[in-house]
Amino acid sequence: MSDIRDPTVFDLSIREPVDATGLTRYLLDRVQWRERSFNPVIQPEVTPVTDSLLLKHELILYHCGDPYQPDWNVKAWIWRFTLTLTVLGRDPERVHRICAYLNRQIALWPYMGPTPFGKVGRLVSNPGFESGSSGDIASSKSVVAWTSSKLVQAASPRG
């Protein structure tokens, strides 16, 4: 029988919210892109140089929604956030291969150890990428865009 006073069994400590953007960037930077001959530029948002970057690189844009705690959550360190990824490039086949590789790498995140920003516990929703419009991101008509929105559950780091 466990003792309720034992903090290792019933850890109800309140922690800071998970840094979703920092966690995502850290994990995206750990992906071994060069193993597959990919060299994408990874950015959290569209910048004025997006069009010029697309001349020589594929571009991965990511956006993290606000972390929130699920209603059922008794553990104060568990958070969920939406992760929206957009992969842009000029070669549709290459963009598709990057999306497939990226999706596979994201599926491995729950099996990785903790990071300075927290730990991904599970992917609540992990759909594949779908073709989208690049009109609001890049001015070139030859750019293809693939997008996916995922729901990530992560734990904030122990402080």
pTM of the entire predicted model: 0.83
Strands 119-125 and 78-89 come out as unpaired
Q: What are the beta bridge partners of residue 120?
A: 154
10-30 pLDDT, tens digit per residue, is: 555 567 889 999 999 999 999
Rounded to whole angstroms, how far apart are CA atoms 47 and 53?
10
Candidate CATH numbers 3.30.2000.30, 3.40.1110.10, 2.130.10.10, 1.10.8.420; the one for domain 20-155 = 3.30.2000.30
pLDDT in tens, the chain (159 residues): 555 555 555 555 567 889 999 999 999 999 999 998 998 999 998 776 677 788 888 999 999 999 998 877 566 789 999 999 999 999 999 999 999 999 999 999 999 999 999 999 999 999 999 987 665 565 566 788 899 999 999 999 876
| Strand (E) or helix (H) holding 28 | helix 20-29
